[in-house]
Structure 1
Amino acid sequence: MDKPQYIQSDGLQLAVERFGSGPPLIFAHGLTGNRHVTRQQFTSLADQYSIIIYDQRGHCDASPVTDPALYDPVRMAEDMTAVLNAFHIDKAIVGGESMGAATTLTFALRHPERVEK
């Protein structure tokens, strides 16, 4: 669970972890957050859900971002799309906090067919 899988999105590398079993649940952390903090929040749900957490662009083990324009919510929502695609997941329960909520909302508006809840 501690070793991430790395996927590419928009020319950047994202560090992703997946653990647990059940319906897929993907969560995007907030500004200054990372997947390590998120893991602590979701470990207790791993017996009910397949948890997918990742370092959003510019955070922790994801590629650094030097251009503020790359923090655009649409680009970040497409990172979420890339994570789901990497695991061949068509539909998931989605969530996020703070900046991650903006990512999740933008994802849901752009891809409503991929949102379970």
Structure 2
Amino acid sequence: MPNATLTDGKLHYLDRGTGKPLVFIHGLGADLSFHDPQIEFFSRTHRVICPELRGNARSSKLTGPIHKILDIQCRDLAALMEQLGIEQTVLAGTSYGGVFCFNFVLRYPEKVSGLIIGDALGDTRISSFREALLMLVEYLGLWGVYLPRPVLIAMMRHQYKPWPYARDHVVNFVRGMRRTEFLLQLLAMNRIKFTPYLKQVSCPALGIVGEENKVGVGWMKSAMKEIPQSSLAIVSHALDPTNLCQPEEYNRLVKEFLKRLNYI
């Protein structure tokens, strides 16, 4: 798997298969194995590109002010697409990757022919007491990322016990997590306010969210309803990340979406 040379660093990525391009963006603190089930399935019919975002896994260190982090990472993908000769793609991202995709399509609309958002949110405005409580817990727990790694691993094993495949991946992500850069990206995500601008998205969009994340379902409904050509699928017995908790259903939904776009 190669590295793309950037003006100020490198971007590790996977490029597999032939056909129309399909770019997958991983979740926070993860690596390109985040999309193992999608790489295996879609590389049979498409050219699958999976970059490891700056600040994660084998890509360069993430520096710069928090409010610029998503822009820096999106600029990296735009540069990678140019190097690979890809003018336009269907772009898919889950969790932090979905937030990334919202930012990318708003900044580079000409580069996106279709959008697939999983388990993400469009902004951090609070619309209910439950959301307020969740955000409070999240902010209080930011420094939990610096807990001893065995403690974090035990927490993830417990949380993902019903989903062994996802559990094993998430545990591996915790083992390889770059803690300080993880925290910077989490802080960047907690500043977003994309929802008022999503009506500008002109390409078709599919939202996918796991039913087990009740607040996340609400966040996805709020975001996706703003996109004119959008639909939302709620997947049973799934938690963020849905693409790992229910990979076969996620792949089926994405394949149907690509067929509707005549992107096969």
TM class, shorter-length: 0.7 to 0.9
| Alpha-carbon displacement from aligned partner over 1:38-64 (angstroms, at most 9, x marks no partner) | 234321111111000011111111113
Taking the aligned partners of 2:73 and 2:98, their CA distance within structure 1 comes to 11
How far apart are residue 68 of structure 1 and its match?
A: 6.1
- TM-score normalised according to structure 1 size: 0.86
Residue type at the aligned position of 2:60: S
Instruction: Find 2:70's aligned residue among 65, 68, 73.
Output: 73
Distance 1:68 1:110, change over 3 A: closer
Residue 88 (str. 1) matches residue 85 (str. 2):
yes
Instruction: Mark the runs of 5 or more structure 2 residues left unpaired by the alignment.
Output: 115-264
Residues 39 and 53, structure 1, Cα contact 8 Å, conserved in 2 = no
Residue 60 (str. 1) matches residue 57 (str. 2):
yes
Taking the aligned partners of 2:108 and 2:68, their CA distance within structure 1 comes to 19
Taking the aligned partners of 2:67 and 2:61, their CA distance within structure 1 comes to 10
Percent identity at matched positions? 25
Residues 8 and 82, structure 1, Cα contact 8 Å, conserved in 2 = no
Partner residue, 1:47: 44
Distance 1:25 1:62, change over 3 A: same
In the TM superposition, 1:3-42 aligns within 5 A as: 4-9=1-6, 11-42=8-39
Taking the aligned partners of 1:103 and 1:68, their CA distance within structure 2 comes to 16
Distance 1:70 1:63, change over 3 A: farther
Which protein has the bigger strand share? 1
| Alpha-carbon displacement from aligned partner over 1:57-99 (angstroms, at most 9, x marks no partner) | 1111111336563861111111111121110110001011111
How far apart are residue 14 of structure 1 and its match?
A: 0.8
List, as ranges, runs of 4+ consecutive aligned residues in structure 1 with deviation greater than 4 Å: none
